[in-house]
Amino acid sequence: MVARPAGGGADVCLPASAAVELPHTIKENDAACLPLTYLTAHELLHHAARVHPGERVLVHGAAGGVGTALLDLGRQLGADMYGVAAPRDHTLVEEYGGQPVQRGRQALPRADVVLDMVGGHGLRASWQSLKPGGRLVSYGFLAPDASPIRDLLQLRVWNALPNGRRVTFYRLSTNARQHPARIRTTLHTLLSNLAEGGLHPRIAACVPLDKPAQAHRTVDDSTARGKVLLIP
């Protein structure tokens, strides 16, 4: 298993230090959910936001691959998890231990931490929902009106305000280059957790490796729940 983002190729050339041995007791498809979705979720909870047990955490895109991983790991951490999702996905949010929040039609609950992969004008609602001393972590720009440059500038402005709230942007690829030992250790921890039955990866679809366009269409489909895998 590769301990860093490696694209959708059948073969990847990397140093041995970037690979982690896969225990034979773990299903390959379940393990394939770890290097991106669960690794990102673990980094967001433990390093970017530094979530503590008992804190209220609001997750945008809660029915997606990273979203379900955040709910799964956040529950283990002892956080009070809330998931923003369409009504059809509220049962899924509850299955992963989260409190559903209806996307676009319900005021966001006050939270200690907001994890936002959507961006765009919804970022302001995320910022306004923070409790005093709260943390907003942006890690994507999926909204149709999202603009990376504008959103990042807005985060800087909010971070400069003297109100005790903190905002940051997180990118897994950057942290994988800067902290390879930490990423490798985290992946070992996630593999052990998965082998013990503590993690429950949600797979939305398995698509043949030679049909990447189909995989991207599935990812872009708003009804996809969980991780989309490319299978050799």
Q: Rounded distance, CA 145 to CA 23, Å?
A: 43
Q: What is the pLDDT of residues 151-193, one digit of tens each?
A: 999 999 999 998 899 999 999 999 988 998 999 999 999 999 9
DSSP, res 163: S
Give 5's pLDDT tier (boundaries 50, 70, 90).
Answer: low
Question: Do residues 218 and 207 lie in contact, with contact meaning Cβ atoms separated by under 8 Å?
Answer: yes
Other CB atoms closer than 10 Å to residue 50's CB: what's the count?
Answer: 13
pLDDT of residue 6 exceeding 90, the answer is: no
Mean pLDDT confidence for 63-81: 96
The average confidence (pLDDT) of the chain is: 89
pLDDT of residue 142 exceeding 90, the answer is: no
Q: Which CATH architecture has domain 20-205?
A: 3-Layer(aba) Sandwich (3.40)
Other CB atoms closer than 10 Å to residue 51's CB: what's the count?
Answer: 25
Q: Rounded distance, CA 36 to CA 112, Å?
A: 25
Return the pLDDT at 10: 66
pLDDT of residue 212 exceeding 90, the answer is: no
